[in-house]
Amino acid sequence: MRLRNIRGSQEIISTSRWVVQKPQEQKGCWKQVFGSGHPLHIEVGMGKGRFLMDMAKAHPDIDYVGIEMYDSVLLRAVQKADALEEAPENFRFIRMDARDLPEVFEIGEVDRIYLNFSDPWPKDRHAKRRLTSRQFLERYQKILLPGYQIEFKTDNKDLFEFSLEQIRESGWILDGCTYDLHQDEHMNAGNIMTEYEEKFSSAGNPIYKLITHFEKNDF
C-alpha cells in the first residue's frame, strides 16, 4: 500500500498536541500520559481517526490511542481533531509501525484492541502483514491483558475467513462472530461506525465482525 506524501505533514504531526512523540518512552506509563486510571483501548490502523474520536466522546471513562503508520493519513486525523468544537481529552495518536507495538506498550497494559477495515494484503506472500495474522496475534498477546478482547470489522470476506482461521490456529477463543453485523441485533448493539463502514454498508455490502480473546500468556 503506497500513499502520497503531503508537504508539511511531518512538521504538523511533530508539533501536534494530539500526537505522542517518542511513544517508546511511555511504555508502561500510559496512565500517566492521560493522567487517569482509566482502561486503555487502542485502534491499530486507525486511518483518519473518526472511529477513535467518536469512541472517546461516547466513553469518557476510557482512554484511547490510535496507531497509524502513514504521515499523510495521520495528518487527516490531526486536522479532524483540531476541527472538533469540543474535543475530548481522552484520546491520542501515534505514528508508528504496528509491528513495534511491544516496544510501546508493556505486557498487559492494553485492555482492548480494535482492528477496523484493515488492509487485506490479498497476495499470499503478504499474509503475515495482515493485522489478524498469527504474527500480529502474537504481538497483541504481549500487550493485551489476558481475557480481554480484540474486536475486528471488515467488509472483506476472504480476510474475515483468514482471520477466523488464524484465531483458531493461534489458540485464541472466539467470543462472537457475524457475517452481517448490521442485521445482528446482539453484535450490533452500541456499534460505532467508521467512515469505511458507512460507505460499504450504504452500498449494500455486509459487514463482518468477530470478537476474540486469549486466556493466558506463555511468557
Tell me the sheet residues that pair with 99. none
| C-alpha cell at position 5 | 506524501
Largest CA distance in the chain: 46
- The four Cα atoms 196, 174, 180, 111 give a dihedral, to 10 degrees, of -40
Catalytically active residues are: 119
Task: Assess contact for 95 and 21: CB atoms under 8 A.
Answer: no
Closest to 48 in 3D by CA, of 10, 72, 74: 74
